[in-house]
Structure 1
């Protein structure tokens, strides 16, 4: 019987808090627990504090997780709620991704007051994005467009768009939906044109691997299909590049007992792209992801990822 509140660690952005609240609500429903059985603990991460340059220049994905993982290890929180696409492929010893919530829409949203979609933007339009993947994919489809670095939380990016600092931006559909902001979406970009980031749309929960009581609680909200898909995607990413210095997209989908995986890597300027597709049994998602990653590495050649 739980006597002290389960402490849920999260970043302080509106989206991160919405994800922590969703996790709490699911745990309350699964175990018939009151809200005061949980405490949400906001932790400021290095990634939240750096707003003036791309994270790829200062350390990559781990900047959004380091302080939260330290709190897990020193037992000042019990679980951490993350956006799966923010998670490095290698976790600190003693920690594990122990639950995934059902995955939301994986697509990217195009948001603009000047065009219905990316292809209809006028020549020379300015698009803001902090994602190397989105920047490269935009440049590949529309080399005439000026893509500018665009940091800040989701609300800040929408405000900059309204102020006219850019003509359009791209954001994850899932994040907008979780904040009740899907009405700002001009159009959704289908995955055939724009493969999402690895893990996009999936909330993951990290905890101490040996904390049996917490693992039991989390099992009540865990979605096995999302785990299988994320295992394939994260294995693919681990082969290529665990950080965010290379434009990479990857998506695993399950149909009729099989995983279909698609992956892509691009040059940052969009001038060169390599794609891979693999299908395999749901029993070995990591093996399928690794195979796809190795195939892409072989296609691209030794200098591609380091350039």
Structure 2
């Protein structure tokens, strides 16, 4: 079966689970991607559920891939607002929009990614969850072909979000994540960031 995705992270994870799949790069806007599916170029494609729903294309969703199967990208689904750090007036205005639980999860996930020196197009996945004041995280680094997937998890206090993210990264590095990431950057010229 030919499966289309634009994500190296998804490709690595899916190849590890189903090495029999022919996972190919998929580019273009949603309409173009769906057209490639409809024309038979792909047997299945992976698109963001939220994007399809936003476009009113719920009927095109056949299956949702959970974080238990495929970890999402760092801070996937998070919306951020950029402002000048010295602009305290703007910070005060937008602070009402801050969602503390999302901030905690985002802080932890970004800390892991930063410590791994990860970029936008590398097979790094992470999922942070909050349960009250407890934060748990699962992370992974994968070889491009899915031949090697390193996973680790950690749990602790939400107050320690950044430290937990760094500790999770160190667990992955201890398993050999640096060698995998070095190979990713060397083989495919995927820029850090």
TM-score scaled by length of structure 1: 0.57
Deviation by residue 1:47-106 (Cα, 9 ceiling, x = unmatched): xxxxxxxxxxxxxxxxxxxxxxxxxxxxxxxxxxxxxxxxxxxxxxxxxxxxxxxxxxxx
Checking the alignment, whether the CA contact within 8 Å between 2:15 and 2:21 is kept in structure 1 is yes
**Matching residue within 14, 21, 29 for 1:138:** 14
RMSD: 1.6
Structure 1 residue 140: Cα displacement: 1.0
Aligned pair 1:153/2:29, yes or no?
yes
CA distance in 2, matches of 1:201, 1:302: 26
Deviation by residue 1:269-301 (Cα, 9 ceiling, x = unmatched): 111111111001111211100100011011126
CA distance in 2, matches of 1:190, 1:128: 17
Aligned pair 1:282/2:158, yes or no?
yes
Checking the alignment, whether the CA contact within 8 Å between 2:13 and 2:149 is kept in structure 1 is no
**Alignment partner, residue 37 of structure 1:** none
CA distance in 2, matches of 1:266, 1:238: 16
CA distance in 1, matches of 2:161, 2:31: 35
Structure with the bigger percentage of strand: 1
Checking the alignment, whether the CA contact within 8 Å between 1:172 and 1:200 is kept in structure 2 is no
CA distance in 1, matches of 2:115, 2:45: 30
TM-score scaled by length of structure 2: 0.88
Q: Secondary structure at the match of 1:215?
A: helix
CA distance in 2, matches of 1:241, 1:175: 28
**Alignment partner, residue 191 of structure 1:** 67
Aligned pair count reads 183
- Structure 1 unmatched runs, 5+: 1-124
Q: Secondary structure at the match of 1:203?
A: coil
Structure 1 residue 159: Cα displacement: 2.3
Q: Secondary structure at the match of 2:64?
A: strand
**Alignment partner, residue 188 of structure 2:** none
